[in-house]
Amino acid sequence: MLALSRGLVSRLRVSNIDTASQLHFLRGMSSDVIIEAKPQVMTPNSKRTGLIAVKCGMSALWDKWGARVPITVLWVDDNIVSQVKTPDKEGFCALQIGCGQKKEKQLSNAVVGHFRAQGVPLKRKLREFPVTQDALLPVGTSLNVRHFVPGQYVDISGITKGKGFQGVMKRHGFKGMPASHGTSRSHRQGGSTGQRDAPGKVFKGVKMPGRMGGEQRTVKNVWVYKIDPARNLMWVKGQVPGATGNFVFIKDAVYEKPDISLLPFPTYFVPEDEDTENLEPLVADLGEVDPFMVTD
């Protein structure tokens, strides 16, 4: 029987659900999970894993109206499934993905023991992605950039650039004090923050100067422009949080959901006879007229 948490057991006891319903609920949670590395049929309720990428930098394209379109280049560096979490053991479905490489002397003994127990090579970055039960993959499964398809939308998370201690104009977008006669050395100040005698204090959460940046942010509905399977590179339209060289986490968009008939599920499995070194880049379908012109 599945080892349940004390909170779950207590909720079942105090609830008004009869014993038969409780047993049916527990039986559904403790069902055996069969994990196979083979293509399956994706349903509207299925949730795939994400990938870890390295932000390589930014470039620019020009649309047909002559406007500059920012493009961010991401490198999916040797992603692999390093741990599988199932309802029988952890109580939920998730995949731990590892990215990059790292030497043993640069990791703690606990982290090295984790990789040794799973039988996977040492990885530089780990990230856990919640998935549905039909999207689980065996430990050691390799993931490449063809997990995504050109033209779909993705959500990208990362740690923003640290800006240090900044004032209210740069941190919160204040317009500042009047820059006319009578304003003496207070053009960029935030103004009054108190409320006189009542309540006689400054409320928590008031926008004031402080440390800016260095926080995790998610950019939603980022459009995938191009994918290069030979080099595991992908081009996305727009900005991505973080500095060049930072890790970012990519997953299918929540709001602009992609067409499930075009996505490889649970991931893209490379055929044995495929020449991965000479694959041509895949570009999103832009219609009859390509609105982008690559700049030299």
Domain boundaries, the chain: 45-162+212-268+281-294
Residues 26 and 197: their CA atoms lie apart, in Å, by: 58
Supply the pLDDT for residue 29: 41
Cis omega (within 30 of 0) for bond into 199? yes
Token pair, residue 184, equals 């003496």
| Cβ atoms of 84 and 137 closer than 8 Å | yes
Supply the pLDDT for residue 198: 85
Give Cβ neighbours of residue 284 (< 8 Å, ≥ 6 apart): 150, 151, 223, 224, 225, 226
- For residue 9, the surrounding DSSP H or E stretch is helix 6-14
Residues 134 and 263: their CA atoms lie apart, in Å, by: 14
Supply the pLDDT for residue 64: 67
Full DSSP string of 221-250: EEEEEEEETTTTEEEEES--SS-TT-EEEE
pTM, two decimal places? 0.81
Q: Buried (b) or exposed (e) across 216-228, using 16+ Cβ within 10 A?
A: eeebeebbbbbbb
Residues 128 and 131: their CA atoms lie apart, in Å, by: 9
Residues 192 and 213: their CA atoms lie apart, in Å, by: 25
Full DSSP string of 175-223: --S--STT--S-TT-------TTSS-SPPTT---SEEE--SEEEEEEEE
Over its length of 296 residues, how does the chain's per-residue pLDDT go in tens digits?
344 444 444 444 434 444 433 433 333 344 456 788 899 999 999 999 999 999 998 888 776 677 888 999 999 999 999 999 999 999 999 999 999 999 999 999 999 999 999 999 999 999 999 999 999 999 999 999 999 999 999 999 999 999 999 999 999 999 998 888 888 888 999 988 888 888 888 999 999 999 999 999 999 999 999 999 999 999 999 989 999 999 999 999 999 999 999 999 999 999 988 888 888 999 998 765 555 554 44
| Cβ atoms of 26 and 1 closer than 8 Å | yes
Count of Cβ atoms closer than 10 Å to residue 37 Cβ:
14
Strand 51-62 versus strand 293-294 pairing type: antiparallel
Token pair, residue 25, equals 């609920």
Supply the pLDDT for residue 1: 39
Supply the pLDDT for residue 30: 41
Question: What number does CATH give the domain 45-162+212-268+281-294?
Answer: 2.40.30.10
Supply the pLDDT for residue 235: 95
DSSP for residue 271:
P
Q: Tell me the chain's radius of gyration from C-alpha atoms.
A: 25
Which of 47, 33, 68, 50 is CA-nearest to residue 218? 50
Maximum Cα interatomic distance, the chain, rounded to a whole number of Å: 79
Q: Tally the C-alpha atoms within 13 A of residue 293's C-alpha that lie toward its C-beta.
A: 8
